[in-house]
């Protein structure tokens, strides 16, 4: 039960953060997101939730990140990292929704009281919770961070630690490290990347490739700035960084992974002088990564895109290669792939041909992560560039054991060491553009491949994504894999009738969990057909739901 002093503390602080009229917030795909001016009360309340989450888990450190990632600069958002470094347990999302929408301090307190009782959370007696607060470069971040601090501290005895401007994956990594009792500062994060990258470089059999310059689009956000720091510690990587946000560019506007992946055109700051160069884009909080190049025959501003699916395929190939070197024992490793309905059909065929198991999850890394944990090595990626590789504890300790069995310098020993280094390099908590980029770079050097050669792994089926603004996007309800719409009634039959008109046609709709739109995805054998299928499905959405 909650003591009177605790109740008074929340009543008092919540007076500072009245909820704005007529907003209905939902934790969504990746936390709460809205126009930054609407979010103070939400962030304050998520501060309270984070303290409670920490208390529930024996005062383990919890992370609270203030970011709206790929959304526009005037938006902001808040998401919680569980002590494991993964996303907030989905069991707590309904409570997050309830308190975010509580209309008065009294209602807020009563919801918290009930929840604390139900979860048997003890406030105050055995020490408080601990919450680490990070934010991206959005101008509204600092003000929102103050609201989060007040929320955290209004749970008596809990402490808020401001860990500064970070990428989302950095915060998740730090939280995970902290709770494992490891060194957990930002410099530890960098050091870990540098050491494991170097280890993989040293294990390249013969260096087949002159290291050419990588050109990075930092989305005018935190990722490019962090890469500037990291670059200083790395050898064997030559990277030129553009769109750092310091030269007047606007976050995510005409730049960044979301823009490049959706529009398939060059971001601002790139042009004909970059033809053929290996280029990469981060998103606003650097949890997404895509590659691209401008083909020499480029008409206008079109790029060749190497999206999350292509990154996944490259990773799968490299890991499979190491397992093959280990031989029969390596083949026992359950290597699997997790994708979403957005995965390009050609990528799914490619990994299946490699003999890998492929499973599908709902959009949102939290869903993919969960499925990837079922494998010894689970690679998950969304087409938008969000993903990572998870190694199970048991497989990792098996690998470490093998490092002792095999003689040093042997092929098998090297293969095992590469896998161990990959598990250290690639973020085990969440998709991470910085660590993903380093892994892509080292694999390309290992293979002796250019970006063009990598792109030839398979040819994407032409696809198109569009968004449709509707009065109420929650009217769209889909199946668990999001490939079919159950509501509004009749729309799926209409979509199916459109799909039938196209060769290799595939299309689906789903409500976005981060923007107020319905998303439409379409694939077909030509770009013209994919565009036309996407447009007719978008028309169906408008006619079934009305346009706003």
Q: Which residues are identified as catalytic?
A: 69
Report helix, strand or coil for 304.
Answer: strand
Q: Is 519 in the site for ligand G16 (CB under 6 A)?
A: yes
* Residue 513 annotated as lining a ligand binding site: yes
- In degrees, to the nearest 5, what angle opens at C-alpha 154 toward C-alphas 153 and 155? 85
* Residue 384 annotated as lining a ligand binding site: yes
Interface stretch with ligand G16, choices 262-270, 325-333, 359-367, 411-419 (CB under 6 A): 359-367
Rounded distance between C-alpha atoms, residue 513 and residue 493, angstroms:
24
The DSSP symbol for 69 reads T
| 173 and 65 Cβ atoms separated by less than 8 Å | no
* Residue 246 annotated as lining a ligand binding site: no
Q: Is 386 in the site for ligand G16 (CB under 6 A)?
A: yes
Which helix (H) or strand (E) segment holds residue 178: the answer is helix 168-179
* Residue 143 annotated as lining a ligand binding site: no
Q: Which of 19, 30, 133, 341 binds ligand G16 (CB under 6 A)?
A: 30
| CB-nearer residue toward ligand G16: 169 or 249 | 169
Q: Is 365 in the site for ligand G16 (CB under 6 A)?
A: yes
Q: Which of 6, 29, 154, 344 binds ligand G16 (CB under 6 A)?
A: 29
| CB-nearer residue toward ligand G16: 172 or 288 | 288
Q: Which of 40, 186, 432, 515 binds ligand G16 (CB under 6 A)?
A: 515
Tell me how far, at minimum, the Cβ of 285 lies from ligand G16, in Å. 7
Measure CA 356 to chain center. Answer: 23
Q: Is 384 in the site for ligand G16 (CB under 6 A)?
A: yes
Rounded distance between C-alpha atoms, residue 482 and residue 382, angstroms:
13
Residues in region 267-326 near ligand G16 by CB under 6 A: 283, 287-288
* Residue 383 annotated as lining a ligand binding site: yes
* Residue 153 annotated as lining a ligand binding site: no
Q: Is 69 in the site for ligand G16 (CB under 6 A)?
A: yes
| CB-nearer residue toward ligand G16: 147 or 219 | 219
Report helix, strand or coil for 248.
Answer: coil
Q: How many other C-beta atoms are found inside a 10 Å radius of the C-beta of residue 267?
A: 26
| CB-nearer residue toward ligand G16: 386 or 402 | 386
Interface stretch with ligand G16, choices 94-102, 395-403, 436-444, 513-521 (CB under 6 A): 513-521
Tell me how far, at minimum, the Cβ of 256 lies from ligand G16, in Å. 10
Q: Which among 434, 386, 329 has a CA at the least distance from the CA of 29?
A: 386
Tokens of 154: 């209004």
Tell me how far, at minimum, the Cβ of 455 lies from ligand G16, in Å. 22
* Residue 283 annotated as lining a ligand binding site: yes
Q: Is 172 in the site for ligand G16 (CB under 6 A)?
A: no
Q: Is 70 in the site for ligand G16 (CB under 6 A)?
A: yes
| 235 and 470 Cβ atoms separated by less than 8 Å | no
Q: Is 330 in the site for ligand G16 (CB under 6 A)?
A: no
384: Cβ contacts below 8 Å, ≥ 6 apart:
257, 258, 261, 288, 290, 307, 308, 342
135 backbone dihedrals φ, ψ, rounded to 5°: -150, 155
218: Cβ contacts below 8 Å, ≥ 6 apart:
224, 225, 227, 241, 242, 243, 244, 245, 255, 282
Interface stretch with ligand G16, choices 153-161, 439-447, 456-464, 511-519 (CB under 6 A): 511-519
| CB-nearer residue toward ligand G16: 39 or 237 | 39
Interface stretch with ligand G16, choices 9-17, 179-187, 207-215, 382-390 (CB under 6 A): 382-390
Q: Is 382 in the site for ligand G16 (CB under 6 A)?
A: yes
Q: Can you tell me which residue has the tokens 């990291």?
A: 230
| CB-nearer residue toward ligand G16: 236 or 512 | 512
* Residue 273 annotated as lining a ligand binding site: no
Report helix, strand or coil for 133.
Answer: strand
Report helix, strand or coil for 76.
Answer: strand
Q: Is 243 in the site for ligand G16 (CB under 6 A)?
A: no
Cis before 488 (ω within 30)? yes
How many of the chain's residues bind ligand G16 (CB under 6 A)?
18
Q: Can you tell me which residue has the tokens 């607060």?
A: 133
| 56 and 91 Cβ atoms separated by less than 8 Å | no
Rounded distance between C-alpha atoms, residue 358 and residue 374, angstroms:
12
Interface stretch with ligand G16, choices 46-54, 360-368, 394-402, 458-466 (CB under 6 A): 360-368
Q: How many other C-beta atoms are found inside a 10 Å radius of the C-beta of residue 306?
A: 27
Rounded distance between C-alpha atoms, residue 399 and residue 419, angstroms:
8
Long-range contacts (CB closer than 8 Å, 24 or more residues apart) made by 399-405:
399/423, 402/326, 402/329
Q: Which of 450, 512, 535, 539 binds ligand G16 (CB under 6 A)?
A: 512
| CB-nearer residue toward ligand G16: 6 or 167 | 167
By the 10 Å C-beta count (0-12 exposed, 13-18 middle, 19+ buried), 300 is classed as: exposed
Interface stretch with ligand G16, choices 312-320, 358-366, 441-449, 476-484 (CB under 6 A): 358-366
Q: Which of 124, 448, 488, 513 binds ligand G16 (CB under 6 A)?
A: 513
* Residue 285 annotated as lining a ligand binding site: yes
Which residue ranges make up the site for ligand G16 (CB under 6 A)? Answer: 29-30, 69-70, 283, 287-288, 363-365, 382, 384, 386, 512-515, 519
Binding residues: 69, 283, 285, 287, 382-384, 510-514, 519
Binding residues for Mg(2+): 69, 283, 285, 287
């Amino acid at each position: 039960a909650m003591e009177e002093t605790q109740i008074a503390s929340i009543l008092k602080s919540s007076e500072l953060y009245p909820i704005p009229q007529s907003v209905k917030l939902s934790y969504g795909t990746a936390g709460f997101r809205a126009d930054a001016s609407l979010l103070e009360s939400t962030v304050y309340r998520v501060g309270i939730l984070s303290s409670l989450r920490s208390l529930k888990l024996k005062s383990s450190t919890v992370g609270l990140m203030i970011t709206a990632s790929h959304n526009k600069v005037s938006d902001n958002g808040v998401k919680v990292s569980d002590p494991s470094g993964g996303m907030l347990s989905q069991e707590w999302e309904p409570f997050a929704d309830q308190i975010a929408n509580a209309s008065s301090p009294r209602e807020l307190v009563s919801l918290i009281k009930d929840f604390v009782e139900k979860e048997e959370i003890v406030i105050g007696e055995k020490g408080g919770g601990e919450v680490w607060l990070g934010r991206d470069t959005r101008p509204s971040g600092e003000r929102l961070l103050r609201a989060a601090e007040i929320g955290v501290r209004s749970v008596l005895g809990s402490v808020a630690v401001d860990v500064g401007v970070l990428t989302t994956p950095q915060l998740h990594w730090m939280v995970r490290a902290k709770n494992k009792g490891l060194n957990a500062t930002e410099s530890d994060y960098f050091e870990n990347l540098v050491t494991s990258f170097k280890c993989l470089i040293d294990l390249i059999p013969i260096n087949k490739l002159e290291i050419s310059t990588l050109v990075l689009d930092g989305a005018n956000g935190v990722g490019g700035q962090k890469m500037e720091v990291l670059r200083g510690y790395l050898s064997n990587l030559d990277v030129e960084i553009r769109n750092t946000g310091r030269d007047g560019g606007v976050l995510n506007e005409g730049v960044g992974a979301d823009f490049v992946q959706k529009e398939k055109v060059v971001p601002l700051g790139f042009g004909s002088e970059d033809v053929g160069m290996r280029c990469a884009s981060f998103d606003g909080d650097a949890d997404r990564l895509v590659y691209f190049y401008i083909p020499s025959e480029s008409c206008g501003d079109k790029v060749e895109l190497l999206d999350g699916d292509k990154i996944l395929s490259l990773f799968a190939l490299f890991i499979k290669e190491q397992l093959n070197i280990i031989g029969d024992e390596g083949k026992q490793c359950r290597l699997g792939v997790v994708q979403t309905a957005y995965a390009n059909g050609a990528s799914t065929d490619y990994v299946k041909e490699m003999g890998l198991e492929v499973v599908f999850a709902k959009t949102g890394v939290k869903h993919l992560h969960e499925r990837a944990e079922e494998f010894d090595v689970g690679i998950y990626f969304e087409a938008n560039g969000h993903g990572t590789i998870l190694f199970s504890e048991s497989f990792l300790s098996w690998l470490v054991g093998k490092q002792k069995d095999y003689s040093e310098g042997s092929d098998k020993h090297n293969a095992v060491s590469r896998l161990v280094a990959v598990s250290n390099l690639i973020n085990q908590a969440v998709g991470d553009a910085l660590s993903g980029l380093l892994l892509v770079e080292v694999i390309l050097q290992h293979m002796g491949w250019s970006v063009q050669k990598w792109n030839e792994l398979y040819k994407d089926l032409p696809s198109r994504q569009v968004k449709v603004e509707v009065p109420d996007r929650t009217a769209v309800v889909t199946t668990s894999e999001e490939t079919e719409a159950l509501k509004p009634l009749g729309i799926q039959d209409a979509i199916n009738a459109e799909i039938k008109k196209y060769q290799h046609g595939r299309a689906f709709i789903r409500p976005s969990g981060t923007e107020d739109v319905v998303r439409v995805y379409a694939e077909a054998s030509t770009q013209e057909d994919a565009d036309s299928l996407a447009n007719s499905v978008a028309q169906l959405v408008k006619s079934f739901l009305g346009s706003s």
